[in-house]
């Protein structure tokens, strides 16, 4: 192109900001010759380059990509190659990635993301980041789809490049992204139900790494199209929860052309919100300075907020997207580094929460470039951080050190509420103070008015338990505790697990099936045992069963009925899990309160505790629990349901563990949908939904024993009656919780990671048992663990596998007997006995009757009675 006046074209040149300070002052071009530029040499002066460190300003390009190798990492990967054993079994990836299919460099990239996910999961910090908790799922899919694995390898290399600032590592990420994009395009061409999860996984992984506007929008619009196409089978997808979230938050933004100029002008109220955010960051900075802690991270964020205020309508969509690049990088990479370095200290968590909060605040300023999507990714970490800080406060003996962090978290939580409101997600208004809520908004101390009906309890289509019921007028109690006896025993009784009395018991010592023999004494009828929660026999009885010497021995019903129910309940609970659609989980009885024993059963998802309900125990005058502290705020973000129906606390305790472990346990689509549907409900409404769940009701009542007799009588329980109750203990979000539907809120017992659960739960159980008299032994503990058959197959223990398969077979037989109605059998036996007597003639029949009236018996009968009494 000709220059001005038609002369020769101007020579192109590039601008540089790296010239020496002397040349800059003279406004002349510096040749940047190091360590002395030619201009300074010409003017015979010392060049400022002489005073600059060579390595800092003129770093030599590395010859090899920096993947943060250590001798320990190299040894682990070599061992992985030699043995084929994945270094991170706690991620439960089966089958694990086969090392022979990957280069040593690729194995390092897999090792990196897996180690990050494993480390944060071990400290229950995975929910404080956007991506680490998803790594196991991505790895599982990547084993079958190479383009997904390449996208994951690119993510790992991108993270390492951010940590090391190594251009060669960034090139590795670029290469893997190219391969992943090519494979993704091919998979989209053959899109189907089978590869839909892989297409979605790769789209998400690549979108998280995109730093260019056009590429990111293409990926996000593709993601939206994939999610729309997956709607018919979304419940089968491994990304079901993510797909559900996208119905609330937009996946892709509008698509103005990158050069489009007419974008929205920042509103004054949005700029004011930004100023408020800056003021809040100043408070965080002052807090850190007061504690003598590093303020670089918060000052970096403050600088970003100041720069964002410069956004104007003249900026194109591409320019606005580029303005947010630093924040996006921080959101993805900074939390991992912070959590690894600080182990989740309160100050570090507060800083991370404010990074996520800034993503929410800037969303109105950048609506055209997908800020809402990145804001939505920040919601869960903010809420989980707030929950963790509250749990730390609960677990400490003194809360003085936590008041400032809790106060600083008020602002992020308020921004979460405002963001949800802007997105159209209506939610109940939060109380004024977080996380200490003002009392219990949904007290269960009062019964519902009879005019209100929230569920079809009177519907004959529901299956009612047909056990003998009784009620007890409740003593005056505080709202902090609810007796199971206050629940209406007739209209709410359909979820009852029936009594085990009267059905056969399989004696494993021989192949013969010996029915349980029960003799009822009418003189003891006033001592009826109400097993409404445990489903024990309702009459005082002497139960005779086979002992190890095959002789009959008589036991008190109050003890033997409990032991028998425990024996059968392992099978009942385990098959309840199977029928609910839960995979690879079973129950094991805890025979000792020993942390080492419990750890051997690991992974342990939770413990269900059965105990005699203390009807005479008085509640604390101040409304606090006997042990631990009520966490009313937790009930909003974890699954906690009030028990609104009698005789279902066992199933409810089981669900309390399951629905809080959906990340570790495959609970199946129906239970996932149930949890999602009740996510925003208060505890008592969740209880009502539980009682109305057709799946839960049908599965629960599938163990009911059919009977032609219905006993609808009721009586009032006395102090002599025994009432039993199930509660659950599990670790959620770094806190050990006691989940009891008869309490107004979850009870926090201090900090506890998933791995620490065996050590932390034992002292809590010991304190609970210690509240009873020393002679009380009626307790039982069931541990919810991974299917032991899986471990047996993993280690090749055929003997253990056989035992577990045999145990399952025995449980299945016992459950079949449990459901069986023996009335017809008993009638046929009675008719056969009478027929045999009649065949012997009237004299034999009358003789037998006269002998019984006189209390006498023949020698054979006497021997039989002695054996049975012995």
Provide the annotated active-site residues: 649, 725
Cα distance between residue 848 and residue 856, in whole Å: 10
Cα distance between residue 187 and residue 653, in whole Å: 43
> Contact at 8 Å (CB) between 443 and 684?
no
Q: Can you list the pairs that 219-225 forms with residues at least 24 positions away whose Cβ atoms lie under 8 Å?
A: 220/251, 220/252, 220/253, 220/370, 220/373, 221/252, 221/255, 222/188, 223/251, 223/252, 224/251, 224/252
Cα distance between residue 492 and residue 118, in whole Å: 44
Helix, strand, or coil here: 30?
coil
Nearest CA to 335 out of 349, 347, 345 is that of 349
Q: How many Cα atoms are found within 13 Å in the side-chain-facing hemisphere of 738?
A: 26
Cα distance between residue 644 and residue 493, in whole Å: 10
Q: Please, what is the Cα angle at 540 between 534 and 543, to 5 degrees?
A: 85
Give Cα 106 to chain centroid, integer Å: 30
Nearest CA to 342 out of 297, 277, 394, 285 is that of 297
> Contact at 8 Å (CB) between 234 and 669?
no
Handedness of CA 292, 294, 298, 302 (dihedral sign): positive
First to last CA, the chain: 116
Helix, strand, or coil here: 587?
strand
Task: Find where tokens 């009335």 sit.
Answer: 823
Nearest CA to 611 out of 409, 772, 806 is that of 772
Strand-pair partners of 587: 784
Cα distance between residue 484 and residue 649, in whole Å: 9
Cα distance between residue 421 and residue 865, in whole Å: 76
Cα distance between residue 103 and residue 194, in whole Å: 28
> Contact at 8 Å (CB) between 651 and 700?
yes
> Contact at 8 Å (CB) between 360 and 380?
no
Cα distance between residue 365 and residue 681, in whole Å: 32
Encode 380-413 in three state secondary structure. HHHHHHHHHHHHHHHHCCCCHHHHHHHHHCHHHH
Q: What is the DSSP letter of 60?
A: P
Handedness of CA 859, 862, 867, 870 (dihedral sign): negative
- Burial label for 215, CB within 10 Å (0-12, 13-18, 19+), is middle
> Contact at 8 Å (CB) between 365 and 371?
yes
Count CB-CB contacts under 10 A for residue 636: 21
Cα distance between residue 281 and residue 286, in whole Å: 9
Give Cα 529 to chain centroid, integer Å: 37
**Per this entry, what is the length of the chain?**
870
């Amino acid at each position: 192109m000709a220059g001005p006046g038609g002369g020769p074209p101007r020579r192109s040149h590039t601008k540089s900001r790296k010239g020496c300070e002397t040349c800059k002052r003279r406004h002349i071009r510096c040749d940047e010759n190091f360590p002395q530029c030619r201009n300074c040499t010409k003017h015979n002066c010392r060049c400022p380059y002489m005073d600059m460190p060579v390595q800092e300003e003129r770093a030599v390009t590395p010859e090899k990509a920096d993947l943060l190798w250590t001798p320990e990492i190299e040894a682990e990967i070599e061992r992985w190659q030699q043995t084929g054993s994945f270094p991170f079994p706690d991620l439960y990836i089966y089958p694990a990635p086969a090392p022979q299919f990957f280069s040593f460099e690729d194995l390092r990239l897999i090792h990196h993301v897996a180690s990050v996910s494993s480390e944060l999961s071990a400290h229950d910090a995975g929910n404080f980041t956007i991506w680490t908790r998803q790594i196991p799922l991505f790895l599982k899919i990547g084993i079958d789809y190479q383009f997904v694995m390449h996208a994951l390898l690119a993510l790992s290399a991108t993270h390492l490049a951010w940590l090391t600032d190594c251009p060669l590592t960034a090139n590795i990420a670029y290469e893997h992204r190219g391969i992943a994009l090519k494979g993704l395009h091919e998979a989209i061409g053959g899109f189907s139900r089978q590869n839909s999860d892989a297409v979605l996984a790769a789209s998400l992984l690549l979108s998280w790494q995109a730093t260019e506007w056009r590429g990111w929008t293409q990926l996000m619009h593709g993601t939206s199209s994939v999610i729309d196409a997956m709607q018919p089978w979304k419940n089968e997808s491994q990304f079901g929860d993510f797909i559900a979230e996208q119905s609330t938050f937009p996946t892709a933004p509008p698509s103005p052309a990158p050069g489009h100029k007419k974008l929205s002008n920042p509103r004054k109220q949005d700029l004011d919100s930004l100023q408020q955010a800056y003021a809040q960051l100043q408070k965080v900075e002052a807090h850190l300075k007061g504690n003598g802690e590093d303020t670089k991270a918060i000052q970096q964020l403050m600088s970003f907020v100041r720069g964002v205020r410069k956004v104007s309508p003249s900026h194109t969509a591409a320019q606005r997207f580029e303005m947010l690049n630093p924040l996006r990088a921080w959101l993805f990479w900074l939390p991992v580094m912070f959590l690894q370095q600080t182990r989740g200290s309160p100050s570090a968590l507060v800083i991370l929460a404010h990074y996520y909060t800034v993503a929410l605040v800037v969303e109105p300023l950048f609506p055209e470039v997908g800020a809402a999507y990145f804001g939505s990714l920040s919601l869960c970490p903010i809420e989980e951080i707030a929950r963790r800080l509250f749990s730390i406060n609960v677990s400490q003996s003194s809360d003085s050190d936590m008041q400032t962090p809790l106060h600083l978290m008020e602002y992020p939580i308020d921004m979460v509420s405002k963001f949800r409101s802007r997105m159209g997600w209506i939610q109940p208004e939060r109380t004024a103070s977080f996380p200490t809520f003002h009392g219990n908004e949904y007290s269960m101390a009062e019964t519902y008015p009879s005019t209100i009906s929230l569920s079809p309890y009177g519907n004959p289509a529901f299956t009612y338990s047909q056990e003998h019921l009784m009620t007890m007028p409740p003593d005056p109690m505080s709202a902090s505790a609810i007796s199971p006896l206050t629940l209406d025993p007739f209209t709410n009784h359909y979820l009852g697990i029936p009594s085990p009395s009267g059905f056969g018991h399989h004696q494993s010592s021989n192949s013969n099936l010996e029915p349980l023999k029960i003799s009822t004494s009418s003189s003891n009828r006033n001592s009826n045992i109400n097993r409404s929660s445990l489903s024990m026999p309702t009459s005082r009885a002497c139960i005779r069963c086979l002992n190890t010497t095959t002789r009959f021995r008589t036991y008190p019903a109050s003890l033997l009925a409990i032991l028998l129910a425990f024996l059968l309940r392992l099978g009942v609970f385990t098959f309840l899990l199977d029928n609910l659609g839960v995979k690879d989980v079973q129950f094991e009885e805890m025979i000792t309160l020993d942390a080492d024993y419990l750890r051997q059963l690991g992974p342990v998802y939770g413990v269900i505790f059965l105990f005699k309900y203390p009807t005479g125990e008085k509640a604390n005058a101040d409304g606090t629990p006997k042990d631990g502290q009520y966490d009313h705020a937790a009930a909003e973000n974890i699954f906690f349901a009030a028990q609104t129906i009698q005789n279902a606390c066992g199933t409810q305790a089981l669900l309390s563990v399951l629905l809080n472990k959906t990340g570790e346990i495959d609970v199946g689509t129906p239970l996932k949908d149930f949890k999602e549907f009740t996510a925003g409900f208060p505890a008592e409404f969740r209880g009502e939904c539980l009682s109305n769940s057709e799946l839960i009701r049908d599965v629960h009542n599938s163990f009911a024993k059919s009977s032609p007799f219905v006993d609808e009588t009721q009586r009032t329980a006395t102090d002599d009656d025994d009432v039993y109750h199930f509660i659950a203990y599990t670790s959620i979000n770094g806190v050990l919780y006691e989940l009891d539907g008869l309490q107004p809120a979850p009870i926090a017992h201090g900090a506890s990671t998933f791995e620490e659960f065996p050590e932390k739960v034992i002292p809590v159980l010991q304190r609970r048992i210690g509240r009873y008299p020393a002679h009380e032994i009626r307790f039982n503990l069931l541990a919810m663990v991974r299917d032991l058959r899986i471990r047996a197959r993993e280690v090749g223990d055929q003997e253990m596998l056989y035992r577990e398969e045999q145990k399952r077979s025995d449980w299945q037989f016992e459950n079949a007997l449990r459901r069986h109605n023996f009335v017809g059998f008993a009638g046929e036996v009675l008719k056969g006995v009478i027929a045999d007597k009649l065949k012997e003639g009237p004299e034999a029949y009358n003789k037998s009757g006269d002998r019984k009236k006189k209390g006498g018996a023949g020698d054979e009968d006497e021997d039989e009675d002695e054996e049975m009494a012995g």
